[in-house]
Amino acid sequence: MQIKKIDVHDSAAVAKLYELTEAVHSFDHPDISVRSLRDMTNKWRHPWPGEDGEIWVAISDGRFVGKLELGWPTRENLHFFEFSIEVHPDYRRQGIGTALYDLVEKNASARGRTELVTSTKAQIDGGAPRPGTAAEFLKRLGYKLALTEVTRECAVDTLSRAEEQELYDKALPHASDYDIVSWIGSAPEKLVPSISDLESKILLEVPLGDVDLEAETIDVARFLELEESYRKWEFAQVQTVAVHRDTNTVAANTLFAVPVEPADFAFQMITIVDPAHRGHRLGILCKIANLWQMREHIPRVKKIYTGNADVNSQMISINEQLGYFTVDNDLAFKKVIAQASDTQLSFHQHRYCRAGRKTPARHSHFLTANTVRTTAPAQLQSVPPTASQHRDPPRFPSYESSCRDRDGHVIGVTTHSCPQGCIGEATHQLTLVFVRLSQREGARRKSRGAFRPFSPSVHGECRNPRCVQSMFTRKA
């Protein structure tokens, strides 16, 4: 058996990957609608903004018999690492899952991630059977249950139009200060800043059990990136918000994501009511209005899937009023891997003036240790150059940053020189390395979050061809 990383732009590999995914799906949970090849290809090719990932496969006689999907956030939650292993039903209990899992901890460690999370389906009372093979597999590897989510399903016409209208009319008097606004596609420009603010609250507001996630900062640029991703995935975004009339603030938001044709189902994505605006029945009003517009404009959608933490009683009560029934449990298992004890970081930055003199950098906003030391380029190997890199020696004030471990070995160096003084991507990358490693060490010192990476867009705005940057990491 061979294990290798696949290129998600290789259509032949993606077709085999899909074949495996479908075989697992129809064995493990055949009652749930299957996503099409086109839909899954879009998903594999375009990671969620602010996330990155890899897909590995186990191959036996040319056939894909196991798959490992890895994913990690790149902006917040730099301690976090997600994975999913699926083994073809005919090849289980032969050690393939274990062989793929071996890559999980190695990969997470190499990225400085400490919290490993995966999820698996489990049968509920009276629900369709689920093999539930993963629970034993994961427990044996040291995983513990961290969160139980319940998957629910609802036909779009479970309630009659009159029943829906009655629910809506009953709720409406509580929301006299709000307008319910619906659309399909991109959000109206004037609402984007306010929706972005509300999106930033999602991870603060949804129950996460023992899964340790900090809130994401969704600014306008990031929100627009999310919308762009929906376009790349060919998902229709069916959205309804409640706008507080006096302040023009988006107080509630709900979204259906409808996969590309011929899918006859939609995913109920987030529904959130701002804590400052609760008690006005905004959740149910938005959900009913959203259902109405989906039924009218995308009639091929016949059913909706949603998932909520088992303790999210408010959301569950709304869903039950709308006719959702339980399908199965999604169990999130977690393991915290040891923090590397041999890592102690110091971060050093030099500034070279035009005359080539080296001085400690002054504007090290993101640094804690700022001691100047000499780096040892011989220990380093170059990371592939970025498009903007060129080979001329820098002619502008330039910066060299290095990151060292506890023994003083350099683990990463970046150099950056820009006539416009932009903050370079290479510096950004090293900062990320620093952030990750400092989390391992720094969780104890409660310094997590003290080192914020610069947004890559800071550099993205610099189009100057003389902006020079390079990044080095220690040889393996």
Ligand X SMILES: CC(C)(COP(=O)(O)OP(=O)(O)OC[C@H]1O[C@@H](n2cnc3c(N)ncnc32)[C@H](O)[C@@H]1OP(=O)(O)O)[C@@H](O)C(=O)NCCC(=O)NCCS
Binding site for ligand X (CB under 6 A): 24, 28, 84-87, 92-98, 118, 120, 133-134, 136-137, 140
Cβ atoms of 121 and 328 closer than 8 Å: yes
Smallest gap from residue 125 Cβ to ligand X (A): 20
Smallest gap from residue 326 Cβ to ligand X (A): 19
Which string of DSSP letters, residue by residue, matches 45-97? HSPPTTEEEEEEEEEETTEEEEEEEEEEESSS-TTEEEEEEEE-GGGTTSSHH
Token pair of 291, please?
A: 């259902």
Which CB, 98 or 370, lies closer to ligand X? 98
Q: Which residues pair with 473 in a beta bridge?
A: 381, 412
Smallest gap from residue 11 Cβ to ligand X (A): 24
One-letter amino acid identity for 462?
C
Smallest gap from residue 135 Cβ to ligand X (A): 8
Which CB, 108 or 284, lies closer to ligand X? 108
Q: How far is it, in rounded angstroms, from Cα 74 to Cα 436?
A: 10
Q: How far is it, in rounded angstroms, from Cα 405 to Cα 408?
A: 5
In eight-state DSSP terms, residue 246 is: T
Q: How far is it, in rounded angstroms, from Cα 400 to Cα 367?
A: 13
Smallest gap from residue 131 Cβ to ligand X (A): 7
Q: How far is it, in rounded angstroms, from Cα 450 to Cα 444?
A: 13
Smallest gap from residue 117 Cβ to ligand X (A): 10
The two beta strands, 468-474 and 410-417, are antiparallel
Minimal CB distance residue for ligand X: 97
Which CB, 291 or 332, lies closer to ligand X? 332
SS (H, E, C) 323-361: CCEEEEEEEEEEEECCCCCCCCCEEEEEEECCCCCEEEC
Q: How far is it, in rounded angstroms, from Cα 306 to Cα 360?
A: 54
Token pair of 177, please?
A: 């200060």
Which CB, 120 or 239, lies closer to ligand X? 120
Which CB, 244 or 334, lies closer to ligand X? 334
Which CB, 108 or 187, lies closer to ligand X? 108
Which CB, 58 or 191, lies closer to ligand X? 58
Angle at 55 between CA 52 and CA 60, to 5 degrees: 175
In eight-state DSSP terms, residue 386 is: P
Burial class of residue 203, CB neighbours in 10 A (0-12, 13-18, 19+): middle
Which CB, 142 or 193, lies closer to ligand X? 142
3-state SS assignment for residue 448: coil
Smallest gap from residue 38 Cβ to ligand X (A): 23
Which CB, 39 or 82, lies closer to ligand X? 82
Smallest gap from residue 325 Cβ to ligand X (A): 22
Smallest gap from residue 81 Cβ to ligand X (A): 12
